[in-house]
Amino acid sequence: MAAVNRPARPPLIGVLALQGAFREHRQALERLGVAVSEVRLPRHLDGLHGVIIPGGESTTMAKLMRDYGLDRALESFHRDGGALWGTCAGAIELASDIVGFPEQPRLGLMPMSVVRNDYGRQVASFEADLDIRGLDAPFHALFIRAPRIVAVGEGVEVLARYEGDIVAAAAPQLMATVFHPELLGDDRVHALFVERVCGLPLTAAGLTGEAT
Ligand code: GLN
Residues carrying an active site annotation: 88, 180, 182
Query: pLDDT exceeding 90 applies to what percent of the chain?
Result: 86
Q: What confidence tens digit (pLDDT) does each residue in 103-143 have?
A: 999 999 999 999 999 988 777 789 999 999 999 999 999 99
Ligand 1 in contact with 115 (CB < 6 A)? Answer: no
Q: Is the CB of 92 under 6 A from ligand 1?
A: yes
Q: Where are the beta strands (DSSP E) in 57-98?
A: 83-87, 95-98
Cα of 58 vs centre of ligand 1, distance in Å, is: 6
Q: Quick one: which atom of ligand 1 is closest to the CA of 57?
A: 10
Task: Give the number of other CB atoms < 10 A from CB of residue 73.
Answer: 18
CA of 88 to the centre of ligand 1 (A): 6
Pick from 63, 101, 117 the residue to mutate for probing ligand 1's pocket: most ligand atoms within 8 Å of its CB: 117
**Which residues, including other chains, have CB under 8 Å from residue 78's CB and lie 6 or more apart?**
84, 107, 109, 173, 174
Between 208 and 1, the higher pLDDT residue: 208
Does the structure show a pLDDT above 60 at 5? Answer: no
At 47 the three-state DSSP class reads coil
- pLDDT at residue 122, rounded to an integer: 75
Interatomic CA distance for residues 140 and 181, integer angstroms? 8
Indicate if ligand 1 lies below 6 Å from the C-beta of 58: yes
pLDDT at 205: 47
Of residues 1 and 105, the one with the higher pLDDT is 105
Q: Where are the domains of the chain?
A: 13-197
Could you tell me the pTM of the whole model? 0.92
The pLDDT value given to residue 64: 97
Which of 91, 101, 12 shows the shortest CA–CA distance to 49?
Answer: 12
- For the CA of 89, the closest atom of ligand 1 is 8
- Residues 139-177 as b/e (b if ≥16 CB within 10 A, e otherwise) read bebbbbbbbbbeebeeebbebbebeeebbbbbbebbbbb
CATH of region 13-197, choose from 1.10.10.10, 3.40.50.880, 3.40.50.720, 3.40.47.10? 3.40.50.880
Pick the more confident residue, 206 or 32.
32
Span of 19-28, 67-76, 92-101, 121-130 with lowest mean pLDDT: 121-130
Residue 99 phi/psi, 5-degree rounding, is -60, 125
Residue located nearest, by CA, to atom 5 of ligand 1 = 89
* Helix (H) / strand (E) containing 73: helix 70-79
Is residue 91 within 8 Å of residue 147, measured between CB atoms? yes
Q: What share of the chain is helix, strand, coil (3-state, %, to 5)?
A: 25, 30, 45
| Centre of ligand 1 from the C-alpha of residue 59, in Å | 9
pLDDT digits (tens, 9 = 90+) for 159-207: 999 999 999 999 999 999 999 999 999 999 999 999 999 999 886 546 7
